[in-house]
Amino acid sequence: MKVLCTICAREGSKGVPNKNIKEIAGKPLIAFSIQQALESNLFDKIVVSTDSDEIRKIAKKYGAESWFSRPAELSRDDSPKIPVIQHALEESEKKFNCKFGHIIDLDITAPLRNVEDIRQAYKIFLKDSFDNLITGTRSRKNPYFNMIELTNGKVELSKQLKEMPVNRQQSPQVYDMNASIYIWTRDFLLKENSLFSGRLGFYEMPEDRSIDIDSPLEWEIVKMLLKKKSNG
C-alpha cells in the first residue's frame, strides 16, 4: 500500500502575508511540515501543491517533490481544499505511474504538531479501517454552556438540552478541529468532497500542538512556542 503525503501551499495569504514561506524559528513555515513528513517514514512520496515558483523551489530544497502548477480555479481565497488534494493525487499518480492507497495531508499552518501525532493518527486510521480521519483538540468554549447566537436581535445559547448544564464540566464534550492532519483512502477521497461523510475517524491532540496560524497574533504565539521548544 503506497502512501502519499500532500502539502498545500498557495501563494496568496491575507491574514499573514506570504505565511507559507515566511521565516519562523529559523526556517520557512512550510519546512516544518516537510521535515515532519520525512521524519515519520510513512510516505512513499511527499508532494507540495502550489501555484508559486518560489514555494516550489523552497519545497524542493527541504526534500519534497513539486513539479506541477496548481490551476487558478484551485488557488483562490475561496477555493475548497479537498479538490486541491484530489488534484495533487491525480497529478502524482500520473507522474509516478502508480496508485496511492492512502493520502495524508499535512496543513502548513500547524507546525506545532509532532511526528508522533502523524504516526498515531495513521495508526488509528488503519486500526479501525476508517474512510477518512481528522484531528482536533478539546474546545475551551462549549455551545451547550457559553457560546451564543444572535438571531433577529435575540441572544440565545447555540445548543440547548432539556436539562441545561450548570457548568462547562457538565456539558457534552466538544472539540475544535485544528486543521493539522487529514487522512483518506484513495477511493473515498476521489468520490467525496465533504469531510463529514463515510466512516470518519478522529485523533485528539493537546491544545499546545493545535494552533492553526491564521492571524498575526497566532503567528506570534506559535513563534514563541517554537522558540521555547528549541530552547528545551
Is the domain of 51 the same as that of 146? Answer: no
The residue written with cell numbers 493518527 in the block is 121
Inter-residue contact 177 to 203 (CB < 8 Å)? no
Check residue 130 and give its pLDDT.
Answer: 98
- Mean local confidence (pLDDT), 191-205: 95
Model pLDDT, residue 15: 81
Verify that 48 and 114 share a domain, yes or no.
Answer: yes
Domain termination site, one of 151, 173, 195: 173
Residue 126 CB partners (closer than 8 Å, separation 6+): none
Please tell me whether residues 169 and 191 are part of one structural domain.
no
Looking at residue 166, what is its pLDDT? Answer: 61
Sign of the Cα pseudo-torsion (121, 41, 55, 69, in order): negative
Task: Looking at the structure, tell me whether residues 98 and 203 fall in a common domain.
Answer: yes
pLDDT 10s digits, 35-80: 999 999 999 999 999 999 999 999 999 999 999 999 989 988 888 9
pLDDT value for 169: 72
Both 134 and 145 in one domain: the answer is no
* Same domain, yes or no: 211 and 147: no
Q: Say yes or no: 36 and 120 in one domain.
A: yes
What average pLDDT does the segment 26-34 reach? 97
Same domain, 205 and 99: yes
Question: Among 72-81, 122-131, 137-146, 155-164, which stretch is predicted with the lowest mean pLDDT?
Answer: 155-164
Please check whether residue 185 is in contact with residue 102, taking contact to mean a CB–CB distance below 8 angstroms: yes
Residues 150 and 36 in one domain: no
Q: Measure the CA–CA gap between 142 and 109, rounded to whole angstroms.
A: 24
Provide mean pLDDT across the span 150-162.
83
Q: Let me know whether 18 and 117 are in one domain.
A: yes
Are 16 and 62 in the same domain? yes
Per-residue pLDDT reduced to its tens digit, 91-133? 999 999 999 999 999 999 999 999 999 999 999 999 999 999 9
Q: H or E element: which one contains 13? A: none
Residue 185 has pLDDT above 80, yes or no: yes
Q: Do 63 and 145 fall within a single domain?
A: no
Query: Domain containing 83: what range?
Result: 3-138+176-230
Q: Are 218 and 212 in contact (CB under 8 A)?
A: yes
> How many domains in the chain?
2
Q: What is the mean pLDDT of residues 147-168?
A: 79
Instruction: Compute the distance between CA of residue 3 and CA of residue 6 in angstroms, rounded to an integer.
Output: 10
State how far the Cα of 123 lies from the Cα of 130, in Å rounded to an integer: 11
- What pLDDT band is residue 161 in, cutting at 50, 70 and 90? confident
Q: What is the pTM of this model?
A: 0.92
Q: CATH number of the domain at 206, please.
A: 3.90.550.10
- Say how far apart CA 229 and CA 122 lie, in whole Å: 24
pLDDT class of 210 with cuts at 50, 70, 90: very high
